[in-house]
A and B are shown apart, each in its own frame.
Chain A
Amino acid sequence: AQKITQTQPGMFVQEKEAVTLDCTYDTSDQSYGLFWYKQPSSGEMIFLIYQGSYDEQNATEGRYSLNFQKARKSANLVISASQLGDSAMYFCAMREGDTGRRALTFGSGTRLQVQP
């Protein structure tokens, strides 16, 4: 089974509007962390936001927020007030804690295109 599923290969959004990128995950660990990364065409992975499995509040970082629904095992990224520079690939990733494994498991990504 896929550990991280991103069902939207591509998304379009108008500049200044909000957009939600979907991510569902699968783990039997009680302790885990969820991450979102942005990858521009240059290739570098840029950390955006982190949510821990025990965090009671949804994480926010500037225009980024994470809609964490633990029971549904979803960790959607919300980008408010989209900008042209937000056009990039976006990856959801998980790090599982109980097994001591510290590697990140990534989804297949969503390509976001912001239109003027």
Chain B
Amino acid sequence: DAGVTQSPTHLIKTRGQQVTLRCSPISGHKSVSWYQQVLGQGPQFIFQYYEKEERGRGNFPDRFSARQFPNYSSELNVNALLLGDSALYLCASSLAGRLYNEQFFGPGTRLTVL
């Protein structure tokens, strides 16, 4: 069975540009979460979507937005990129938003902002 997939793998952008990252969850999983992992730190929660509705949002500016599609895939958009947005962006899927459902992570998209 395919795991969580993310595209692109790597991305280089310049300050002020906009970027869209994509995630496909494991088949049957309805919950998708996005995390930002800056080098040397643990992942930080950005968004969670369940059944196409936003169920949680972390402490990130409005430049960050996301959506989930009817097939449960998801996109993360970041506008007006800053140097500090350079990070590994991880997508995770789970069966539902239940406490005990483990989240399965994708390989991540490494974003570099110059």
**Which positions in A face B, CB cutoff 8 Å?**
4, 31-33, 35, 37, 42-47, 50, 52, 91, 93, 95, 97, 101-109
Judge whether B92 and A45 touch: CB under 8 Å: yes
B interface residues, tally (CB under 8 Å): 28
Query: Across the interface, which residues of A come within 8 angstroms of B108, CB to CB?
Result: 43-44
Q: A52-B100, A109-B42 are in contact. Are A45 and B105 (CB under 8 A)?
A: yes
Judge whether A47 and B42 touch: CB under 8 Å: no
Query: Across the interface, which residues of B come within 8 angstroms of A97, CB to CB?
Result: 99
CB within 8 A of B99: which of A33, A46, A106, A107? Answer: A33
Interface centre among A4, A44, A106, by most chain B C-beta atoms within 10 angstroms, is A44
Q: Render B54-68 as a binary contact track against A, CB cut-off 8 A, 1 for contact.
A: 011010000000000
Judge whether B99 and A103 touch: CB under 8 Å: no
Judge whether A43 and B110 touch: CB under 8 Å: yes
Q: A52-B99, A108-B42 are in contact. Are A47 and B58 (CB under 8 A)?
A: no
Query: Across the interface, which residues of B come within 8 angstroms of A107, CB to CB?
Result: 42
Chain B, residue nearest A50 (CB):
B102
Q: Render B31-68 as a binary contact track against A, CB cut-off 8 A, 1 for contact.
A: 10101000001111100101000011010000000000
Q: A31-B99, A50-B100, A109-B42 are in contact. Are A102 and B105 (CB under 8 A)?
A: no
A20 to B105, CA, bound (A): 24
**Which positions in B face A, CB cutoff 8 Å?**
31, 33, 35, 41-45, 48, 50, 55-56, 58, 88, 90, 92, 97-100, 102-108, 110
Query: Across the interface, which residues of A come within 8 angstroms of B92, CB to CB?
Result: 45, 104
Q: A43-B88, A43-B107, A109-B42 are in contact. Are A102 and B100 (CB under 8 A)?
A: no
